[in-house]
């Protein structure tokens, strides 16, 4: 739309002026204004939703479209709702998006090392959030750890899911040799930045294409991630002890007949493309789309291609309560 293009031109001009100013406060202001603009352009509102389990959720939700099909989008380990914003922008007005920060991540409270972050616990919490929002039937798509949580949701309450999307998903969790080697070396997990500057290396692992963030914004986001490093370590420990992250040798996947799209970046350096075959051979109603030149977060690296793959898929899946 013309007014959105004008808005983009204005924001770019303002951000450019702020950066030329050179001070840290200006960069921080530009960072937050850029994030707010991306969410506005995607038609998303930020809101807080308390649930009966004591959580104070932070989520992004479509401004309009309460009559449109609901879509729950689940981010991966160490990420937050912002990973899905550009994807949602591609499909604005077609779906009602619900994009939460998972417990242990982002601005959902409390951020604590005392919580249990195993996948079944996160799935139950997400159902509670959807109940609070009055959403019974929905599509769900999850990236990385979020994909494994989505599988757990399909296992627990299959009748509520219209479809399942697995985007470079854990669950089978076949890590690449280079990622296994990195985890075994000091200083440890490259997905948990301890300093703001470390987040540049985290993105190098997670992405093959640029996600369009300037270096100063990556560093500022890295400071947010580093401040949550202790909680991230607890989340990582919980999920890596969870049998739901190792489903390749179980019968769980074969029991899920929810229509499923497996979307993968061929250049994923964390969970290799060999995961795709396991998912599609194990799940009776699964199909796959593999994107060349894309890494672990296709919805951010290749938002247009990823959105079109899901648009085609969702349009082919009728909402027939079971």
Parse the chain into domains and list their residue ranges: 1-41, 44-186+235-316
Instruction: Work out whether strand 96-100 and strand 70-74 pair parallel, antiparallel, or are unpaired.
Output: parallel
The predicted structure's pLDDT at residue 22: 58
The predicted structure's pLDDT at residue 8: 45
pLDDT in tens, 54-111: 999 999 999 987 789 999 999 999 999 999 999 999 999 999 999 999 999 999 999 9
Q: What is the pTM of this model?
A: 0.93
The predicted structure's pLDDT at residue 186: 75
The predicted structure's pLDDT at residue 93: 94
Task: Write the DSSP string, 3-58.
Answer: HHHHHHHHHHHHHHHHHHH--HHHHHHHHHHHHHHHHHHTTEEEEEEE-TTS-EEE
Report d(CA 22, CA 1) in Å as an integer: 32
The predicted structure's pLDDT at residue 11: 47
The predicted structure's pLDDT at residue 249: 80
Two tokens at 200? 């540049």
Report d(CA 179, CA 194) in Å as an integer: 18
Task: State the CATH class of domain 44-186+235-316.
Answer: alpha beta
Q: What is the pLDDT confidence band of residue 25, given thresholds at 50, 70 and 90?
A: confident
Whether 7 has a pLDDT exceeding 50, the answer reads: no
136-151: average pLDDT: 98
pLDDT in tens, 11-24: 444 455 455 455 78
Q: Which residues of 242-267 are buried (b: 16+ CB within 10 A; e: fewer)?
A: bebbebeeeebbeebebbbbbbbbeb
Nearest CA to 48 among 98, 102, 88, 108? 108
Report d(CA 102, CA 313) in Å as an integer: 25
pLDDT in tens, 36-58: 999 999 999 999 999 999 999 99
Whether 9 has a pLDDT exceeding 50, the answer reads: no
289-308: average pLDDT: 98
Task: Decide: 69 and 96 in contact? Cβ < 8 Å.
Answer: yes
Nearest CA to 98 among 108, 109, 88? 88
| Sheet containing strand 138-143, strands side by side | 44-50, 56-62, 96-100, 70-74, 138-143, 161-167, 260-265, 286-291
C-beta contacts of 175-180 below 8 A and 24+ residues apart:
175/270, 175/271, 175/272, 176/268, 176/269, 176/270, 176/271, 176/272, 178/269, 179/205, 179/269, 179/270, 179/271
The predicted structure's pLDDT at residue 81: 98
Residues 6+ apart with CB under 8 A from 71: 95, 96, 97, 98, 138, 139, 140, 141, 314
pLDDT in tens, 276-285: 999 999 999 9
Cis before 187 (ω within 30): yes
């Amino acid at each position: 739309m013309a007014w959105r293009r004008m808005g983009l031109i204005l924001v770019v001009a303002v951000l450019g002026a702020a950066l030329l100013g050179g001070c840290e406060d200006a960069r921080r202001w530009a960072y937050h204004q850029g994030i707010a603009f991306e969410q506005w352009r995607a038609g998303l509102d930020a809101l807080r939703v308390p649930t009966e389990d004591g959580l104070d959720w932070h989520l992004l939700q479509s401004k309009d479209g309460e009559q449109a099909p609901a879509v729950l989008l689940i981010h991966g380990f160490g990420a937050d709702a912002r990973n899905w914003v550009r994807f949602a922008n591609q499909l604005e007005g077609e779906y009602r998006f619900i994009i939460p920060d998972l417990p242990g991540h982002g601005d959902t409270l409390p951020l604590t090392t005392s919580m249990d972050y195993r996948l079944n616990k996160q799935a139950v919490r997400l159902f509670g959030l959807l109940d609070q929002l009055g959403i019974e039937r929905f599509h769900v798509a999850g990236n990385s750890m979020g994909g494994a949580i989505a599988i757990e949701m399909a296992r627990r309450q299959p009748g509520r899911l219209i479809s399942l999307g697995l985007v470079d998903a854990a669950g089978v969790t076949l890590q690449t040799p280079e990622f296994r080697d990195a985890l075994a070396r000091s200083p440890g997990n490259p997905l948990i930045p301890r300093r703001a500057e470390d987040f540049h290396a985290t993105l190098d692992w997670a992405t093959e294409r640029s996600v369009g963030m300037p270096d100063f914004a990556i560093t500022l986001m890295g400071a947010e991630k580093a401040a949550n490093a202790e909680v991230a370590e607890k989340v990582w420990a919980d999920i890596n002890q969870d049998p739901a992250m190792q489903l390749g040798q179980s019968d769980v996947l074969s029991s899920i007949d929810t229509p499923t799209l497996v979307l993968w970046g061929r250049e994923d350096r964390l969970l290799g493309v060999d995961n795709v075959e396991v998912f599609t051979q194990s799940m009776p109603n699964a199909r796959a789309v593999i994107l060349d030149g894309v890494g672990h977060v296709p919805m951010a690296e290749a938002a247009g291609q990823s959105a079109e793959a899901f648009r085609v898929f969702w349009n082919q899946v009728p909402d027939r309560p079971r």
